[in-house]
Chain A
């Protein structure tokens, strides 16, 4: 099986974010990058699928900025066989990203039997790339997948819908599967894995190499701003028994007029 995984590098959730100078994106120079957490599930699922199908290969593909390319190496250290980096800005829109992924997969010369992705990236939360990629490649896709079993090229997929109910899909390879938390427990990259990863192939392409032009941009970003600072909370003394009735009335009033919560 030719297994592909699309991974994105996103700012660490603990990183302090600031808009960049012209407000077209965030300041990326001082950011610590991590693998998008949902993509870790995708890498793990790819490796599990490989383990169950001897002779399979796992190729990880990433489109984005070239600063700190550790994410791809982490995937290689976890056990992926080779990696493709499409060098581009970090603020591509979903359409360009999907088109670049398609180009990179096609350029690899291997036709994909399955493509795993995360269900969304935790930085821009667009939730579009797997579906766009499926459209461009004309493949079936299932998203928010929490259970994945494969036998003879047929995938049985569980996806969670409103209220915790599970939908079950059967999809024949090739297909795109976008993973959600709960599908598996991602393994750590072992230290021998990290040492081995540096000898694994990593191909680099430009956007032009994979057939993406500036004119493919559908969304232009501007005016990145920090959210306004939250005003400090108000405290009320619930232990003040003598005044409890009036305190409760005041809280309820403020919840109505100020917080507009009730």
Chain B
């Protein structure tokens, strides 16, 4: 049975999240883009309404959303502001390894505080020398009595300046590549040897907090290791199966917002004696934008649905991420084109959206890396 209709509850979730995006996020998006400050008040309000940390299971105080529900919410929040959504989404990215690989005691200890007040979390995988080639990371983990000792540097870590919890990927031996990788939780931000770098100055998503994080002999109790030593790569892969469709959902939300702005503007802007919406070249662009957005949305929903069915979705997750990110960049560029010179000015909303779109092709696996994943799956099957 195939059914593309959202449940009445999911429609309500959409309405509510869109209302929040329109009333709380959109009016402030430019202000925070310019100041680069973290919009704590808006983020906290989103948390209060249950829009954040959607991956936490009900047993640990979460609401009990399906993966598909979390996609719907992300699409709406990204419609409101990509930068604010990145801050919110990074929490899921950091908490997912715990929901995937944590034992009951760890889930209680790490997840429950996130249901009691708004807190931020960081997912620390990327390093200065290892981005796409994540299996080559050099941050080390060594046993020392009842602790592990972490040494190394992470780069581009979202939320780092505000995080209460860090999920760290590290290796017992870089030579082992993915087989040597482990995943451990640091839940003490005041621990000795933890160094948080300066905030990066970025092209877009400016209100989100991105920094380098350095570990100098940081000691973490052994009971904070997720799974066993050497299981980190698998945990990261399962995390990305969930988070990549989510990033793609944010692309759909951002692109839909760009299209809605462009359609409205095309009806108002008059050139050669008629609204530009009456010029066929504009109509063709708008039609292409709408088709691409809906295609990406369907990929996102299917990738999420597969997870909810308990199926492996790695291929669909990469389809959604690569197609979603590339389509968002195209749609955002076309939206600026429809606005003409005004689209290039930050007085109009599509300028920010175009800057924000670029990041979606980069983080959580670049568009090239998604294609490598896809090709590998295809050739390994045939």
Q: Which residues of A pack against B, CB within 8 Å?
A: 70, 73-74, 77, 188-195, 197-198
Contact = CB atoms under 8 A, between A and B. Distances in A.
A191 B13 CA distance: 7
Q: Which of A74, A77, A195, A197 has the most CB of B within 10 A?
A: A195
A194 B20 contact: no
A234 to B, nearest CB: 15
B12 A192 contact: no
Interface string B11-28: 111011001100000000
B111 to A, nearest CB: 16
Contact count band on B: 10 to 19
B63 A70 contact: no
B48 interface: yes
B16 A70 contact: no
Given A191-B73, A192-B63, A193-B50, 13 more contacts: A70-B8, A70-B11, A73-B8, A77-B12, A77-B16, A188-B16, A191-B16, A191-B50, A191-B51, A192-B50, A194-B13, A195-B63, A197-B12
A193 B48 CA distance: 11
A73 B50 CA distance: 17
Contacts, number: 40
A190 B13 CA distance: 9
A188 B63 contact: no
Contacts of A197: 12
29 contacts: A70-B8, A70-B15, A73-B12, A74-B12, A74-B16, A77-B12, A77-B16, A188-B16, A188-B19, A188-B20, A188-B49, A189-B16, A190-B48, A190-B49, A190-B50, A191-B13, A191-B49, A191-B51, A191-B63, A191-B65, A192-B63, A193-B50, A194-B9, A194-B12, A194-B13, A194-B16, A195-B63, A195-B64, A197-B12
Nearest to A195: B63
B196 to A, nearest CB: 31
Interface of B: 8-9, 11-13, 15-16, 19-20, 48-51, 63-65, 73
B251 to A, nearest CB: 22
A183 to B, nearest CB: 18
A73 B15 CA distance: 12
Contacts of A198: 9
Nearest to A74: B12
Contacts of B64: 195
**Chain A binding site: helix, strand, loop or mixed by DSSP?**
helix
A193 B49 CA distance: 9
Contacts of A193: 50
B358 to A, nearest CB: 30
Nearest to A77: B12
A197 B19 CA distance: 18
Nearest to B73: A191
Contacts of A74: 12, 15-16
Contacts of A190: 48-50
Contacts of A192: 50, 63
Nearest to A78: B16
Nearest to B24: A188
Contacts of B49: 188, 190-191
Contacts of B11: 70
B346 to A, nearest CB: 26
Nearest to A32: B15
B187 to A, nearest CB: 25
Contacts of B73: 191
B322 to A, nearest CB: 30
Contacts of A188: 16, 19-20, 49
Nearest to A73: B12
A188 B49 CA distance: 7
A193 to B, nearest CB: 8
Contacts of A194: 9, 12-13, 16
A134 B73 CA distance: 42
A67 to B, nearest CB: 12
A195 B73 CA distance: 14
Contacts of A70: 8, 11-12, 15
Nearest to B11: A70
B263 to A, nearest CB: 13
A70 B15 CA distance: 10
Q: Which of A190, A191, A194, A195 has the most CB of B within 10 A?
A: A191
A206 to B, nearest CB: 22
Contacts of B15: 70, 74
A115 B278 CA distance: 50
A188 B18 CA distance: 11
A73 B20 CA distance: 18
